[in-house]
Amino acid sequence: MERIKIADPFIDEEVEQLVLQVLRSKRLVSGALVERFENELARYLSVKHVVALSSGTAALHLAFEALNVEGKEVVTSAFTFPASANAILYARAKPVFADIELETYNIDPASVEERVSEECVAIEPVHLYGHSAKMDDILSIAKRKGLFVVEDAAQAIGSTFRQSYVGTLGNVGCFSTYATKNLHTIEGGFVATQDAQIAKKVSMLRNHGQESKYTQLELGYNYRMTEVQAAIGLPQIKRLEELIELRRRNARLLNEGLEGIDGIVTPIEKKWSRHVYHQYTIRVEPEKLGITRDKLAAKLLEKGIETSVHYPLPVYLQPYYVKRFGYKKGMCPNSELASQSVLSLPVHPSLKQEEIERIVNAIKEIVGHH
């Protein structure tokens, strides 16, 4: 039986044609396509500025550089991909970890409130799996305390908070276009902002701090996006809504199939957010299900179904963070519980209905649910 993959990067004929066209043109860098990619994303998100970059990590790094957070603290989620926190360290600031709400796996505003100190200059919510964080509470804490908001929207292009796209609500939104993302350029990313100063600074820093060719004003980096990357991403922008709807359909079918299994908590979508299901992530309650998360994953793999754990450790319990900051277990209980119990199932747009049925039936068989 064919293996059901956890991700299936989008490549169609239009992508192939455009990539070939770029390769044949020999205009591989600093051409028209990166600019078109930026303009079309700005239009999609309704923001004034988009700056394309080499990765989502670069987007976060340059957002923090542009806001000049050096020597200060930034509060972020304990339950995220380590890049969210690493970028704070690159900008010579200190990440402070807030716990999550188990319901959406996103940063808990009450925990943020507790962890904002006198040294804090910014909050970095992460819109994990493609569902918005509680942006009204986060923006109001930021306003009250005079803090910047840098949104880590790496996993969440197209997700909304009320009427706005995530990544457009704070001072800067940072997106990843890594191969498995809902819109990808193999590797890549971008920042979105309404602030012309921030956009200018980010675009200078992505190219060695040069204001114009060979006039360097600051210490910058090589975080540029290539024309080939833009050629892969561009055709996906106009298909993004369709691709998101396919993910949402798949998520609905999985929800329906897994409904009523005691010990499996399916993802929820709050009425104030559109979930774009970059990941469809369940939580396993082993005492009710009669099997652990890791055993379930192993048995699914035996049946040809890939799964993934996002993420097996809260960031502060990563060996590097323990070594550097001396963090201990118990700091963010919900993040620790989530890291032991979450499991992402395939939800990508190219899944067929029969494959979703196969996933559901395999889980039911494994846990003995009829």
189 near ligand PLP, judged by CB under 6 A: yes
Q: Provide the residue count of the chain.
A: 370
56 near ligand PLP, judged by CB under 6 A: yes
DSSP state letters, 103-172: TTSSBPHHHHHHH--TTEEEEE-B-GGG----HHHHHHHHHHHT-EEEEE-TT-TT-EETTEETTSSSSE
- Interface map 58-97 toward ligand PLP (x if CB under 6 A): ----------------------xx-xx-------------
56, two tokens:
């989502």
126 near ligand PLP, judged by CB under 6 A: yes
Q: Which of 275, 254, 272 minimizes the C-alpha distance to 264?
A: 254
Rounded to a whole number of angstroms, the distance between the first and last alpha carbons of the chain is 23
183 near ligand PLP, judged by CB under 6 A: no
Stretch that binds ligand PLP, among 21-29, 55-63, 281-289, 351-359 (CB under 6 A): 55-63
169 near ligand PLP, judged by CB under 6 A: no
**Closest to ligand PLP by CB, 174 or 356:** 174
229 near ligand PLP, judged by CB under 6 A: no
349 near ligand PLP, judged by CB under 6 A: no
**Closest to ligand PLP by CB, 7 or 359:** 7
Peptide bond preceding 327 in cis form (omega within 30 of 0): no
131, two tokens:
């569902």
- Interface map 139-158 toward ligand PLP (x if CB under 6 A): -------------x-xx---
Q: How far is CA 94 from CA 81, 187, 221, in A?
A: 16, 26, 21
Q: How far is the CB of 290 from ligand PLP (least distance, A)?
A: 31
Per rule CB under 6 A, count of chain residues that contact ligand PLP? 14
209: alpha, beta or left? (left if phi > 0; alpha if psi -120 to 50): left
**Closest to ligand PLP by CB, 37 or 289:** 37
Interacting residue ranges for ligand PLP, rule: CB under 6 A: 55-57, 80-81, 83-84, 126, 152, 154-155, 176, 178, 189
